[in-house]
Amino acid sequence: MAALPVILMIILYGSPSLISFAGSKASQPFKPPCRPGFSQNFYTVIVSRDVLHGQSILKVKFEDCQHSREVGFVSSDPYFSVRPDGTVYAEKEVANLSEPVQFMVTARGLHDPHIWETTVKLALAGHPHSLPLTKVGIEEMLSRVWESQPRVIKFPRRHQRGSSTNGLRRQKRDWVIPPINVPENSRGPFPHMLVRIRSDQDKDVGIRYSITGAGADQPPSGIYNIDPISGNMFVTQPLDREERASFHLRAHAVDMNGNQVENPIDLYIYVIDMNDNRPEFQNQVYNGSVAEGSKPGSSVMQVTATDSDDSTTANGMVRYRILSQSPHSPIPNMFTINSETGDIVTVAAGLDREKVSQYTIIIQATDMEGNLNFGLSNTATALISITDINDNPPELEGKTFSVEVPENKVNLVVTNLSVVDRDQPHSPNWNAVYRIVSGDPTGHFTVHTNPITNEGMLTVVKPVDFEMNRAFMLTVVVSNQAHLASGIQLSRQSTAGVTISVQDENEPPVFPVNPKMIRFEEGVPAGTTLTVFAAQDPDHFVHQIVRYSKLSDPANWLKINRTNGQITTMALLDRESMYVQDNIYEATFLAFDNGSPQASGTGTLQIYLIDVNDNAPVLIPREAQVCERARPNSKINITASDTDADPNVGPFVFELPSFPASVRRNWTISRLSGDYAQLRLRIPYLDSGVYEIPVIVSDSGNPPLSNRSVIRVKVCPCDDTGDCSATGAVAAAGLGTGAIIAILICIIVLLSMVLLFVVWMKRREKERQAKPLLIDPEDDVRDNILKYDEEGGGEEDQDYDLSQLQQPESLDHIINKPAGVRRVDERPVITESQYPARPSLPHPGDIGDFINDGLRAADNDPTAPPYDSLLVFDYEGSGSTAGSVSSLNSTSSGDQDYDYLNDWGPRFKKLADLYGGGDDD
């Protein structure tokens, strides 16, 4: 069992005055964080054997950290109580104490569930068995917690109401039931008795005791039990405060029948913390940093360790210390740590990143307030990186440099300037910045920093000329991108001299004026000398010959003299040529020397061509359209254009020629502005057609140029809106009025012919349907096909009964007729043949084919009448479709004149010969 090293001893020698002895703590550099709880975890008070009632023994100090927390104090010993201010006093006179007394003082928040505890030990003055304040003695005191528990806990006495004559009987106040304290991790033996629960009525009736709550009959169940007869309460196993710090049970007393004898009482069991957990760091490796050159006391980092034990006791109070530092440069103890907060700070100067860039520190955390004898410890590693500051300026490795550079070269690195900087590479403290401070007034050179090597690249940015400067003497300084740290007694920059010699090169000939512009009028004849386009050789110290050639001549108008550069024309210069842009014709020429190697230069010649009036104006549009009748909007706008330039263009003059005379008679033209004119009808009406109107336009040149342009005007009839009608569109296409009328008549005749043909076809079709088939008058009528599906000829044939000529609708009389009896004129009972279908609108040419197909089908059809060539008409028996002919009787008496048959035409000639021939001889 671990010990608690902090002990407060208060000695009381029979008098109310108290003499306290308290060990003072060493002052810490930082104020520790406030933790609510008792200021001490263990109080030992030496008192006399006689303790008087109400006598103050000691005062426990409690820190609530909020100054608003309401806390109540409770003593575990009923003989002692605690006032609200923390003063411990005797509840009654305690005479002749024979043994030391130990009890717990519990602080509990009135509005929150937090509980804090401290132990009070009352030792007797002069007691021979007083334990020394050693490790063994403290452990012995803590082990006696078992013995300090109250042995018997009684149920509170009930207030009994007295007789009516005596009134209420006032009884003495009951003792407050103290909490039960059980140390964690006890080795037993188990079960171990804690207290005895007893009722005053156990003498009168049989009592059965029980306990309920978490730890008894509720999870975690079985930790506590009670003997139901004796009331002895036991703990059955070791406890772990880190799992559960307190228990709240209720004790019950009932009789043998299960009736409640006493009101349940609350039992509070507190697990006394033991130092059984080591401090644990949040990280095994911590990373921090501090700038080099930092002053002592500079903050580096903070480490944190936690202990699962009670933080209000020494068991959970962690203290820190540094075990080792690596490396030991410049001294072994460059850092210190705040023992309570874990803040690491510097304690000495001399941090230099260039010497030591990182420190490794082993940190130990120990509980029991850092007591190495009793506390448990754990370690962690802190890696402290030393961050760089700019305490080392760059230094050029050389003070003088000599290099050469060819003339006329750009973007060429002449040399690399190397520097040494011990600061952090690739940081602003290390990055070098180069500047040329003298020797290059015209800015031919610059120095760029290589981001990888930090070297200065001296580069030519503007061509140097050997003929002008044969050498340069530069002064270059280098400094860091970041400012040098304060307090550094070194120059912030380094300086070097650079001598640059220029090497001569064969330079190409140079045209003094490039491009060169000259002015000439267009149209100069071939062979005209325009100018001399000569180049100069910049190599003055070497005599060289320059020759010329032509590079570009788009229109092939020019040539150049090979030796002197004279430019001569080979053709007329035309300003209106497609090769001339903005009046300028451009050609390029080459000049080259005879050096080694040969060098050449290019020159551009620009010829500004002055315009002359050599182009006549033209008119647009070339075609137009107007109405045949003069209207306000029947006019044509004309625009004149000229390819010449001012002043050889507008204002233009527009006029109509005098020949032919019809032009001026029918048309008139007027100028609207310098470039525009208007052509319109002079007469009120002009026949439709296409007219070619000549117009003469003249420019303003000196002398002016004229042009006769023909405008094709289409005259057409217009509608009310002034637009040409359909007829007018045809006329505008080039047709006269007579031609249009002839076309319309042809269209009407063609439509009439088509209509007549359609009427004739319909009439012919109707006649074919109405007329009977043509037959030969000589043929027998009986041998021809007769149609019976047309209307009758007159009223006299309406009295005939035609039903006898029709086929019966039913064949039952044939099917049911006895076998062997059949008439030859009966319709055979077989499947009917299929006749060709007649189209609804047959073509006239197909009628004959249709009739022939019908005849062939009828000849081959056994069901078509007549059914046999031999017809029997004398059968009138049962089953005959014909009625009796006995009723037939002629209505005429005497002969009948049939001569009128001769008037019926050739079709009835045979009948007329038979009946109209007169009397027989």
Looking at residues 1-29, what average pLDDT do you find? 31
Judged by DSSP in three states, 222 sits in: coil
Given a cut of 80, whether residue 133 has pLDDT beyond it is no
Kindly state whether residue 843 falls inside one of the protein's structural domains.
no
How far apart are the two ends of the chain, measured CA to CA in Å? 180
On whether residue 403 sits in a domain, the answer given is: yes
Distance CA 256, CA 201 (A): 13
Q: Which of 88-92, 496-500, 783-787, 793-797 has the highest mean pLDDT?
A: 496-500
**Of the ranges 525-529, 828-832, 861-865, which is most confident?**
525-529
DSSP 364: E
CB 390 within 8 A of CB 431: no
pLDDT at 138: 43
Q: Which pLDDT score, from 0 to 100, does residue 748 have?
A: 92
* The pLDDT of residue 168 is above 80: no
pLDDT of residue 2: 35
How many domains are there within the chain?
Answer: 6
pLDDT for residue 229 is more than 80: yes
Q: Which of 124, 152, 177 is the last residue of a domain?
A: 124
The SS3 assignment for 571 reads: coil
- pLDDT (0 to 100) of residue 7: 30
- For residue 56, the number of C-alpha atoms closer than 13 Å in the C-beta half-sphere is 11
Residue 302 falls inside a structural domain? yes
634, 636, 637, 643 alpha-carbon torsion, rounded to 10°: 180
How far is it, in rounded angstroms, from Cα 181 to Cα 106?
10
Cβ–Cβ under 8 Å, residues 603 and 511: yes
What band does 60 get if pLDDT is binned at 50, 70 and 90?
A: confident
Query: For strand 335-337 and strand 706-716, is the pairing parallel, antiparallel, or unpaired?
Result: unpaired
Query: CA 675 to CA 654: how far, in whole Å?
Result: 9
Q: What pLDDT does residue 162 have? A: 41
Q: Are residues 383 and 400 in the same domain?
A: no
Torsion angle of alpha carbons 911, 912, 916, 921, nearest 10°? -70
Give yes or no: residues 144 and 262 share one domain. Answer: yes
**Residue 416: other Cβ atoms inside 10 A:** 14
Q: pLDDT class for 839, splitting at 50, 70, 90?
A: low
Residue with the bigger pLDDT between 141 and 115: it is 115
Question: Cβ distance 350 to 330 under 8 Å?
Answer: yes
- Do residues 251 and 225 make contact, with C-beta atoms less than 8 angstroms apart? no
Q: Which of 125-129, 708-712, 861-865 shows the lowest per-residue confidence on average (mean pLDDT)?
A: 125-129
Q: Is the per-residue pLDDT at 163 higher than 50?
A: no
213/267 same-domain check: yes
Return all residues near 368 (Cβ < 8 A) that are at least 6 apart: 2, 4, 5, 275, 314, 315, 317, 374, 375, 376
Half-sphere exposure for 479 (CA within 13 Å, toward CB): 13
**524 Cα distance to chain centroid:** 70
Going by the DSSP 8-state scheme, the letter that residue 312 receives in this structure is T
pLDDT at 159: 47
pLDDT score of 920 more than 90: no
pLDDT digits (tens, 9 = 90+) for 492-533: 788 999 999 988 787 788 888 889 998 988 888 888 888 998
Cis peptide before 647 (omega within 30 of 0): yes
Residues 6+ apart with CB under 8 A from 727: 717, 740
Residues 401, 498: one domain? yes
Q: What is the DSSP letter of 536?
A: B
Is residue 467 assigned to a domain?
Answer: yes
Q: Is there a contact between 199 and 253 (Cβ–Cβ < 8 Å)? A: yes
* pTM across the whole model: 0.47
With a CB cutoff of 8 Å and minimum separation 6, the contacts of 327 are 356, 359
Domain shared by 152 and 106, yes or no: no
Domain boundary among 245, 272, 299: 272
- Asked, for residue 150, whether it belongs to a domain, the answer is yes
Q: Quick one: pLDDT band at residue 619, thresholds 50, 70, 90?
A: confident
Asked if residue 183 belongs to a domain, the reply is: yes
- Residue 203, pLDDT above cutoff 90: no
Q: Return d(Cα 91, Cα 797) in angstroms, integer.
A: 159
- Mean per-residue pLDDT, 847-859: 77
Is the pLDDT at 21 greater than 80, yes or no?
A: no
pLDDT confidence band for 771 (50 / 70 / 90)? low
Residues 463 and 549 in one domain: no
Query: Strand pairing of 419-420 and 516-521?
Result: unpaired
Q: According to the model, what pLDDT value does residue 61 have?
A: 84
Q: Examine the pLDDT at 16 and tell me if it is beyond 50.
A: no
Q: Name the nearest CA neighbour of 686 among 717, 664, 710.
A: 717
Cα–Cα dist 7/28, whole Å: 20
**Residue 780: which of 675, 913, 659 has the closest Cα?**
913
Residues 526 and 595 in one domain: yes
Same domain flag for 295 and 382: yes
Which residue pairs from 873-882 have beta carbons closer than 8 angstroms and sit at least 24 positions apart in sequence? 875/823, 879/813, 879/814, 879/817, 879/821, 879/823, 880/823, 881/804, 881/808, 881/813, 882/804
pLDDT given at position 836: 64
CB 32 within 8 A of CB 168: no
Work out the mean pLDDT of the chain and round it to a whole number: 77
Which of 662, 693, 716 finishes a domain? Answer: 716
In the sheet with 667-671, reading across from the earlier edge strand, the strands are 618-620, 635-641, 676-681, 667-671
| 267 lies in some domain | yes
Query: Would the pLDDT of 895 be above 80?
Result: no
Write out the H or E segment, with its range, that includes residue 336.
strand 335-337
Taking residues 160-166, report their average pLDDT.
40
Summarize pLDDT for 557-579 with one digit per residue, the tens.
999 999 898 999 998 888 888 89
Q: Sign (positive/negative) of CA torsion 456, 462, 467, 472?
A: negative
Which residue range(s) make up the domain with 152? 137-272
C-alpha triplet 479, 485, 491: angle, nearest 5°: 45
Q: Residue 340's pLDDT band (boundaries 50, 70, 90)?
A: very high
- Sign, CA dihedral 901-902-905-906, equals positive
For residue 279, cis peptide bond before it (omega within 30 degrees of 0): no
* Per-position DSSP letters for 714-731, written without gaps between them: EEE-B-TTS-B-HHHHHH
3-class secondary-structure state, position 186? coil
Note the pLDDT of residue 253.
93
Q: At 890, which amino acid appears?
A: S
- The count of other CB atoms within 10 Å of the CB of residue 713 is 21
Per-residue model confidence as pLDDT tens digits over 100-113: 777 888 888 776 76
Based on the fold, state whether residues 603 and 710 are members of the same structural domain.
no
Please indicate, yes or no, whether residues 662 and 605 belong to a single structural domain of this protein. Answer: no
Token code pair at residue 827 = 């319709």
**Cβ distance 449 to 456 under 8 Å?**
yes
Q: Which pairs with CB-CB distance under 8 Å and at least 24 residues apart come from 660-668?
A: 663/693, 663/694, 666/691, 667/693
Q: What sign does the CA torsion over 722, 723, 729, 733 have? A: positive
User: Cα–Cα distance between 11 and 46 in angstroms, integer?
Assistant: 4
Residue 164: the pLDDT is 38
- Whether 695 is covered by a domain: the verdict is yes
Asked if residue 539 and residue 495 are part of one domain, the reply reads no
Q: Residue 129's pLDDT is what? A: 43
Q: In this structure, are 268 and 143 located in the same domain?
A: yes
Tell me the pairing of strands 584-592 and 547-552: antiparallel
- Is pLDDT at 356 greater than 90 in this prediction? yes
CATH number at residue 408: 2.60.40.60
DSSP string, 876-891: -STT-SS--STT---S
